[in-house]
Amino acid sequence: MSPDGTRVVGSATADQVEQSGPARAREILASSTFRLALLYAFLMGGSVLILLGFIYWSTAVYMTRQTDATIEAEIKGLAEQYRSRGLSGLTTLVAERSARSPRGAGVYLLTDDEYRPLVGNIEAWPAAEPDGDGWIDFRLRDAVSADDREEEHAARGKVFRLQGGLRLLVGRDVRDLTAIRGLIREALGWGLAFTVALALAGGWLMSAGIKRRIEAVNQVGREIMEGDLSRRIASDGSGDEFDQLAVNLNRMLARIEALMASVRQVSDNIAHDLRTPLSRLHTKLSQLRDVDLGAEAAAGVDEAIADAEELLAAFNALLRIARVESGSRRAAFADLDPVVLLHDVAELYEPLAADKGQHLEVSPAQSDAGPEALHIHGDRDLLFQALANLLDNAIKYTPPGGHIRVAVTTDNGHVAITVSDSGPGIPPELRGKVLQRFYRIDASRSEPGHGLGLSLVQAVAQLHGAELTLGDAAPGLRVALRLPVAPKDGPRGARAGNGH
Amino acid sequence: MRVLIIEDDAQLAAYLSKALREVGATVDHAADGRRGLLLAAGNEYDVLVVDRMLPSLDGLAVLRTLRASDNNTPVLILSALGEVDDRVEGLRAGGDDYLVKPFAFSELHARIEALLRRAVPEDQPQTHFKVGDLELDLLSREVSRAGKKIPLQPREFRLLEYLMRHAGQVVTRTMLLEHVWDYHFDPQTNVIDVHISRLRGKIDRDFDQPLVQTVRGAGYVIREP
């Protein structure tokens, strides 16, 4: 039951309306398969990030260690030279090596205790402070720039203290290292981006694919709910989960169809086995009534006849509902004018209402799309039956002097036939229940009737793809039957209108 | 009145035979389609009562065969199938009326009477009806009783016309719904009774002799008392 207390039966096929782009995107975002795909992309991206991070870290650390080991080895060598050949030996060696790599891989600088350069291939002691182990990371400015443009790049070195406050800086230009590190970072970044993009695209495709297959199942489900129980889900024979689902659902549908057929068989048996003796009973009672009976016996026979008639009516109504629900009556559908139908039924019931002192009014038809829109496709006799049941109820429950209004309106491709009365109405919480078979609000069941009238109306509504709404006429009950307008090129008027 | 019942339900057939004999008919019974066809083709009957679903030869096939050999005996089809398309199919096959099971015998009887009346050939379509001092003219669409004009609504006129066409015969409420209102449906209340009582108010109230009479358990009849 929807929040406004109305109940909707036999929904129209609104899903078939073409969807706009944003609506479609929203639908995909809302689908559980897409959310799964998104989660999958997220986890995949995360693990790739961790893996690539580890590769980057180990590569960078390995290369830094290599550089450091080279520097350590060189310092060790120079320290040995210093020990064996003294300061002059060291100076010669540093000058020699500096000359060999003016601004190449090796960086050398020997300073005094005031950091004044003595020999080396850089001009000044770097401004950066060395750490506890003497390691120092600094920026190296190209002494001679080919195109007179000062360039800076990273370098790393170690400070070695000599006697007398002298300091030796041995370093390496690590710009290649930095460049490689950058390259690795870039490659890792792209890799991560590709992974996420692929995961997202895959998720989208997977979601759309799954959605398409589920939608195929849903479509068949909708068609079956509209009454075509012979529909089956297409099976591609691949044997995958969806195929198995289709096969199982089809088996289930076949079983349901067989059960429903046997229910119909039972109904027919009831028709044959129970209705026939019942009508015989009715006839025999009627014949008995013709015999000259005493007044008391005659009254008893009359009551028995009335009971038999009530039973027969209930049987007929029940079997009728079953037939209507089976959907087989669509074969008798034709184009018809709801205004003529409504006038006919109102005319039939008007004297009954007048006898009870009620006013039965037919409101003039209102159409927002011209009289052409006032055509529906349906079973003339069943729709008449449905409207007759609604009017019958309205007359039954409206007090003398009350008003009953019937109207036909069109809006937005639908024809709404409404029957409103000024009776006690139906409380919102009972509006769904009154459509159930044999349900009667009047618990004492003092009013005549078998509680099948509205069930039949509901079955007729479902057969026509119509909405049956029970609402408040304030005061009273307002029943609306909202039918789709007949397609313009449909078969015209075979049994339309009054048929005369 | 000679009636042939082609019906495989032995109980129903026995019951119908007995009831029809009680109202003065001569009844033959065939339990399957083939035998029914042989009887119908070899004898003169006033009316055939044919069940749709029969062993050996389907009721509609019997009907088509009879019609193809120019046998125009009125046929009332009996069937448990009461839907519109079944009805249309039955009438198209050559049936004259269609009755859905179960039915009250009075309904069957009234319809057989109506079929017998229809079978009498008319030289000219009747346009003037008279029952006692009540007259109805189809051309001028006027109704008068004892020379006094009675204004009627269109539907009341058609109701009276149908009753007068079958003057002296019982017409059931279902027959009235089908022929005067042209809808096949089950009214939950006897809505027809109210229309009849309105009609009575116009044609019977101011006169000593009521013409429209209620037949208990069956329907209505218009006749001179």
pTM: 0.62
The separation between the first and the last C-alpha atoms of chain A, rounded to the nearest angstrom, is 42
Say yes or no: A312 and A345 in one domain. no
Most A CBs within 10 A among B162, B188, B216, hence the mutation to make, goes to B188
Question: What is the rounded distance in angstroms from the CA atom of residue A420 to the CA atom of residue A402?
Answer: 11
Lowest mean pLDDT among A2-11, A78-87, A139-148, A478-487: A2-11
Cβ distance A347 to B155 less than 8 Å, yes or no, reads yes
Q: Is the preceding omega at residue A448 within 30 degrees of 0, hence cis?
A: no
- Tell me the C-alpha distance between A332 and A495, whole Å: 10
Q: Best-predicted range by mean pLDDT among A92-101, A366-375, A408-417?
A: A408-417
Q: Measured between alpha carbons, how far is A176 from A154 in angstroms, rounded to an integer?
A: 9
Q: Residue A1 is encoded by which pair of tokens?
A: 């039951």
Task: Locate A429 and state its tokens.
Answer: 């919480």
Judged by DSSP in three states, B153 sits in: coil
What is the total count of domains within chain A? Answer: 2
Q: Do A350 and A461 have their domain in common?
A: yes
pLDDT of amino acid A151:
66
CB of A271 within 8 Å of a chain B CB? The answer is yes
Same fold, B2-119 and B128-222: no
- Considering the domain architecture, whether residues A336 and A479 belong to the same structural domain is answered as yes
Do residue A310 and residue A374 come from a single domain? no
Model ipTM value: 0.83
Same domain, A454 and A347: yes
- On whether residue A206 sits in a domain, the answer given is no
What's the pLDDT score for residue B82?
Answer: 60
Same domain, A450 and A366: yes
Once rounded to an integer, what is the mean pLDDT over residues A346-353?
93
Q: Does residue B202 sit at the A interface (CB-CB below 8 Å)?
A: no
Residues 391 through 420 of chain A touching chain B, CB cutoff 8 Å: 392, 395-396
Please tell me which residue of chain A has the smallest CA distance to B177.
A348
The minimum CA-CA distance between A286 and chain B, rounded to whole Å, is 6
Q: Are residues A313 and B11, on separate chains, in Cβ contact within 8 Å? A: no
More confident residue, B123 or B181: B181
Using the Cβ of B123 and the Cβ atoms of chain A, whether some distance falls under 8 Å is answered with: no
- A281 and A370 share a domain? no
- Is pLDDT above 90 for A75? no
What's the CATH code, domain B2-119?
3.40.50.2300
Q: What is the pLDDT of residue A5?
A: 42
Q: Which residue, A325, A352, A386, sits at the end of a domain?
A: A325
Residues with Cβ within 8 Å of A141's Cβ and at least 6 positions away in sequence, in order, are: A150, A151, A152
Q: Across the strands, what pairs with B143?
A: B136
Residue of B12, B153, B182 to mutate, testing the A interface (most A Cβ within 10 Å of its Cβ): B182
Q: Does any domain span residue A214?
A: no
Give tens-digit pLDDT for A48-62. Answer: 888 888 888 888 888
Q: What is the CATH number of the domain that holds A309?
A: 1.10.287
Same domain, A427 and A311: no
The pLDDT value given to residue B151: 94
Q: Specify whether A376 is located in the same domain as A412.
A: yes
The answer to whether residue A358 sits within a structural domain is yes
Asked whether residue A70 is assigned to any structural domain, the reply reads no
CB–CB of B83 and A328 under 8 A? yes
CB A406 within 8 A of CB A419: yes
Is the domain defined by B128-222 classed in CATH 1.10.10.10? Answer: yes
> Is there a domain that residue A411 lies in?
yes
Query: Is it the case that residue A267 has pLDDT exceeding 70?
Result: no
Highest mean pLDDT among A255-269, A368-382, B194-208: B194-208
In this structure, which amino acid lies at residue B114? A
State how far the Cα of B43 lies from the Cα of B67, in Å rounded to an integer.
Answer: 15
Name which of B83, B101, B106 is nearest A323 (Cβ-Cβ): B83
pLDDT of residue B131: 92
Does A112 have pLDDT greater than 70?
yes
Residue A319 in this model has a pLDDT that exceeds 80:
no
Domain ranges of chain B: 2-119, 128-222
Q: Is residue A176 part of a domain?
A: no
Strands A334-336 and A376-378, by their bridges, are: antiparallel
Q: How far off is chain A from B120, nearest CA to CA, in Å?
A: 24
pLDDT at position B47 is 94
What percentage of chain A exceeds 90 in pLDDT?
A: 11
The predicted pLDDT at position A417 comes to 92
Mean pLDDT of B88-114: 85
Check which CATH number belongs to the domain holding A450 and give it.
Answer: 3.30.565.10
Point out the domain boundary residue: A273, A295, A325.
Answer: A325
Task: Flag whether pLDDT at B160 surpasses 60.
Answer: yes
- DSSP conformational letter for A271: I
Pull the structure tokens for residue B138.
Answer: 């189809």
Summarize the confidence of residues A15-26 as an average pLDDT: 57
Inter-chain touch A289–B102, beta carbons under 8 Å: no
CB-based contact (8 Å) between A325 and chain B? no
**Residues A401 and A464 placed together within one structural domain of the fold:** yes
Please check the confidence at residue A500 and state whether its pLDDT lies above 70: no
- Is-cis flag, bond preceding B102, omega within 30? yes
Range of the domain at A426: 329-484
Asked if residue A438 and residue A341 are part of one domain, the reply reads yes
- Phi then psi for B2, rounded to 5 degrees? -105, 125
Rounded Cα distance between A140 and A105, Å, is 12
Q: What is the DSSP string of A208-241?
A: HHHHHHHHHHHHHHHHHHTT-TT------S--SH
Report the alpha-carbon distance of residue B104 to residue A309 in Å, rounded.
Answer: 10
Out of A101-115, A191-205, A304-318, A337-351, least confident range: A101-115
Asked whether residue A241 is domain-assigned, the answer is: no
Give the number of other Cβ atoms within 10 Å of residue A424's Cβ: 13
